[in-house]
Structure 1
Amino acid sequence: MAMRRMMTETASAEKEEEEEEEEEEEVRSEVPDSLSGKYTGSFAYLTIKDRLPQILTKAIDTVHRHTDTFFAQHGQEGVEAEKRAIGLMSKLRNELQTDKPALPLTDGLPDVPQWNKYLKQQQARLGSEENASWFKAPWLYMECYMYRRIHEALQLNPPICDFDVFNEAKTQGFLESQQAINAISTHLQEINEKVKGFNETQLKAELLRLLQVALWGNRCDLSISAGVANSQKFNPLTALESLKPFILIDDFEFVWSHLINNKKKKTSETAHTRIDIVLDNSGFELVADLVLADFLITSQLTDEVHFHGKSIPWFVSDTTKKDFDWTLKQMKTSSHPQMSRCAVAWEKNVTKGVWIYQDHPFWTLPHEFCDMSLVANDLYAELQKSNLIFFKGDLNYRKLTGDRKWSYTAPFETVLRGFQPAPLCSLRTLKADVQVGLKPGLGEQLAGSDPDWMTSGHYAIIQFSNPFGK
């Protein structure tokens, strides 16, 4: 009898496992089409048609305006390099505007084989009848491809290959946000003097406040404004209450429970908790992320924070190591004492290894994040060490979801398609037409009242997923 019962239980377990595998296969087979410029009138179409050429034109103008600088630094060699780089970017703009096929990269950087392999995969998916061109291939791929080709235009033309065509716009965004940066720096300094005496309720309230500041800081996105001034000019702390109704998914309670439970579970002085922040924009948003990271450390909700940035200039305002270091230096030498005090403390965090900045090449590849374990297993293994990963911004959300035409109610966990290195939370203001995990009817209701709700940056989400259960 016991043997028969055991055999029955085994058969039942095997049947359940088969059913789960069938369900997973069904999900994989039902993956929707990528957002693409082939859908005339879509946000992807308008982005490729209008915004990307504007960004390219500004990049070309920026390089041209630095002719004297290149001559002063490198003589006639610098001027000739500038002309060639402009020629390549002008050619790129023409390819974009005339819907030419994407071309293989040729600059010899270590990521070239992966980029060119991805191009072949896209061509194979489209079939022999269509080329992987600007308006026919997936929007996510083509937008990433444009920034990589801008980088290639400079890489092929030493001695100006390290020139950041977006640096001026990033600098302007930071300088125009001084009032807001000073406000949150001052707030942090005040909180740090009291945090050791906080009870759990006070700790939770302050985490929510700073998480929302980091969330709404994501509005300052130069790739969306096509490089036009986009900064935080007012104290963001005063607007948080009025912005709450615009948070369409608010999983803060799950985030809080996860963090406080991890803190309580620590069993020894040697046990370490770690939070990762996959960064988005430099400028005000980066400072808001650093303020949040500071609070997570001083409140002992974590022991170390790992920041993940871009290895090359990307999507106009995305954070590179140069931007990260420059921001700390600018704040340290600021005439505002609170900003300076923050930067001094943050530099100490970096020196002590409490804060770690990392920039893996994967973040500037075109792949969806569900490909990470295959394409960049070392990065995936690194993220598995985290207790919680914050993914900032719109591009990260597009890569989490694959930038596909999911239904508004599709479960977040399903859409991640196996990407779950650790518990994760997306902090994002909506600036692309993909959003999942909404309550039934909400997406349609918003579309009826505000046709641009998915792309205006007026709405936001705090969306949490835990592979080990919420």
Structure 2
Amino acid sequence: MPCTKQPETAKEVWTSEEGSMARETAITRWPGIVQGMIDDLDQSFAHSEVAEQVEEGRRIQATLRIIKNEISQDKPLHPLMPDGRSDIDGFNAQLKSFGNITWHNAPWLFAECYLYRCVQTLFGRSTHWRTYDIFARQKVSAFVASHAAVEELCERYVSLTSAGAFCKTSEEEQALIFSEMTEIALWGNATDLSLLSHLSLDQIHSLQGAQAIQAGQARIVSNDMAVAWDHLRSNRGKRVDIVLDNSGFELFTDLVYALYLLDAGLASSVKLHVKSIPWFVSDVMPHDMDVLISALADQSIFPAAKNSSVRTLTERLREAYSKSGVMSIAEHPFWTTGYDFQQMPAVAPELLGDLRGSALVIFKGDLNYRKLVRDANWPHTLPFKQAIGPLVGNKANEGIKILALRTNKADVCVGLDEATLERVEKEAPGKKWVRSGKYAVVSFSDGV
């Protein structure tokens, strides 16, 4: 059945809303992010021997200081300067449609996208810095710092595959493995696998396995895991898409999840959607894939004598990504626009058409979730399929089969039943359950 009409009372979250996470982000977090960019350039200047590059970089740095001050002083947002990419007109048209907005009185989702796009124009219009990723250092250092969790996950995954867990188990046990692997992808940015049940194959064979997984899902406040499993099992052997979020350890968990989908026969291929410009600090860009695989093979990080499972998994990733091509990456400019995903039919119909051909499109992370539901103040008990509106489809056009894996880090959240909402508001009052990243949602739509 097509979803019912969205409530018309839900409005986008604005940075002017007192007490909101949007306002806190605009006043405190954005200036800090820009300062981090300024500091990053200082480190690059120290390693450059090209005077013209340093001089141009210092001009970019000076403009970043202006942007930081404009945010702190609540100045108006101004039209973006062309930098050769096709999305500038769209940003400026959106900006005009909002009227006279300032950093502390703007739609949160648009203003944050605008910030990163504004910064990219500085690099895109330069001579020596056009391909510079100002967040590269943070991405690499975060991944290296999580080496212990990487080693542990490699050992667990190689152990499961060696034992034939994906092909020598019952349907019920395969459903448990799907839940476990999906949770790893869900909580991947936590870099702490103690969140999970650490199941061995022997435990999966026992009642203990099901009980452990059920207990571990108490913090998933809206959980469509079972229906997602039924859908994927019924459509096994087709392409699956993953719209990625963060690089570093989270990207690693996403790649392990992609390998699982392939090894379990749930997908014939996996297409990984990445950003084409530096975005929201740590979002995955094409080169981050090669950086991660190279880091996995770096014996100064993962000594070969101690980490045979890391070597095994690294070779399997190389085979899937670089050799056989069953794991591939795709870029599209739509992912770095200021539009929410419900505007995809009008703004990027060719991308929508491609995603319709996927057995399942897995959207990772908080930003992708916010864009799916239009970053609007929906009632928390509104069904997910109603909140995503036109992405569900209608009688004339098929929708996208969606699985959203999101740890809650912003006030917008839907799909809860009344009892769960009452429970989490007692457990984590003051909006902590939607802001702290300690709770999550696994939300599914079958596209009809």
For structure 2, the residue ranges without an aligned partner over 5 or more in a row are 199-211, 393-398
Mapped partners of 2:27, 2:216: distance in 1: 32
Percent of residue pairs bearing the same amino acid type: 33
Mapped partners of 1:276, 1:191: distance in 2: 23
Give the alignment's Cα RMSD to 1 decimal. Answer: 2.0
Query: TM (normalized to structure 1)?
Result: 0.84
State whether residues 356 and 401 of structure 2, in contact with CA within 8 Å, keep that contact through their aligned partners in structure 1.
no
Q: Deviations over 1:297-354 (max 9, x none)?
A: 1111111111111111111111111111211121133422212221211121122221
Q: Which is further off, 112-121 or 332-341? A: 332-341
Mapped partners of 1:133, 1:313: distance in 2: 23
Mapped partners of 1:188, 1:234: distance in 2: 13
In the TM superposition, residue 453 of structure 1 has moved relative to its aligned partner by 1.5
In the TM superposition, residue 235 of structure 1 has moved relative to its aligned partner by 5.2
Mapped partners of 1:409, 1:172: distance in 2: 39
Which residue identity lines up with residue 401 of structure 2 in the other structure? Answer: P
Mapped partners of 1:180, 1:64: distance in 2: 31
In the TM superposition, residue 184 of structure 1 has moved relative to its aligned partner by 1.0
Partner of 1:105: 80
2:116 paired residue among 112, 135, 147: 147
Q: Deviations over 1:406-448 (max 9, x none)?
A: 1111121111111133211111110000111111254354334
Which residue identity lines up with residue 186 of structure 2 in the other structure? Answer: L
For structure 1, the residue ranges without an aligned partner over 5 or more in a row are 1-16, 124-130, 220-231, 264-271
Mapped partners of 1:292, 1:158: distance in 2: 39
Which residue identity lines up with residue 246 of structure 2 in the other structure? Answer: N
Specify which structure has the bigger relative contact order, considering alpha-carbon pairs within 8 angstroms and separated by 6 or more residues: 2
Partner of 1:212: 183
Mapped partners of 1:249, 1:401: distance in 2: 14
In the TM superposition, residue 180 of structure 1 has moved relative to its aligned partner by 0.7
1:198 paired residue among 159, 169, 181: 169
State whether residues 104 and 119 of structure 1, in contact with CA within 8 Å, keep that contact through their aligned partners in structure 2.
yes
Please state whether the residue corresponding to 1:248 is helix, strand or coil.
Answer: strand
Q: How does 1:27-426 map to 2 (within 5 A)?
A: 27=6, 30-70=8-48, 72=49, 75-106=50-81, 107-123=83-99, 131-193=100-162, 194=164, 195-219=166-190, 232=191, 237-238=196-197, 243-263=216-236, 273-333=238-298, 334-335=302-303, 336-350=307-321, 351-420=323-392, 421-426=399-404
- Number of residue pairs matched by the alignment: 416
State whether residues 179 and 234 of structure 1, in contact with CA within 8 Å, keep that contact through their aligned partners in structure 2.
no
Q: Which is further off, 247-256 or 199-208? A: 199-208
Please state whether the residue corresponding to 2:234 is helix, strand or coil.
Answer: helix
Q: Deviations over 1:228-282 (max 9, x none)?
A: xxxx25555447856421111111110111111223xxxxxxxx51111111111
Query: TM (normalized to structure 2)?
Result: 0.88
State whether residues 142 and 248 of structure 2, in contact with CA within 8 Å, keep that contact through their aligned partners in structure 1.
yes
Q: Deviations over 1:21-62 (max 9, x none)?
A: 9x63xx36x151111111122110001000111111111111
In the TM superposition, residue 121 of structure 1 has moved relative to its aligned partner by 2.1
Which residue identity lines up with residue 375 of structure 1 in the other structure? Answer: V
Q: 1:410 to 1:145 in 2, by over 3 A?
A: same
In the TM superposition, residue 68 of structure 1 has moved relative to its aligned partner by 2.3
Mapped partners of 1:209, 1:234: distance in 2: 11
Mapped partners of 1:251, 1:374: distance in 2: 29
Instruction: Extract structure 1 runs of 4+ deviating beyond 6 A.
Output: none
In the TM superposition, residue 153 of structure 1 has moved relative to its aligned partner by 1.9
State whether residues 183 and 235 of structure 1, in contact with CA within 8 Å, keep that contact through their aligned partners in structure 2.
no
In the TM superposition, residue 218 of structure 1 has moved relative to its aligned partner by 3.3
Partner of 1:5: none
Q: 1:347 to 1:169 in 2, by over 3 A?
A: same
State whether residues 180 and 236 of structure 1, in contact with CA within 8 Å, keep that contact through their aligned partners in structure 2.
no
Please state whether the residue corresponding to 1:303 is helix, strand or coil.
Answer: strand
Mapped partners of 2:180, 2:383: distance in 1: 27
Which residue identity lines up with residue 287 of structure 1 in the other structure? Answer: F
Does the alignment pair 1:440 with 2:443?
no
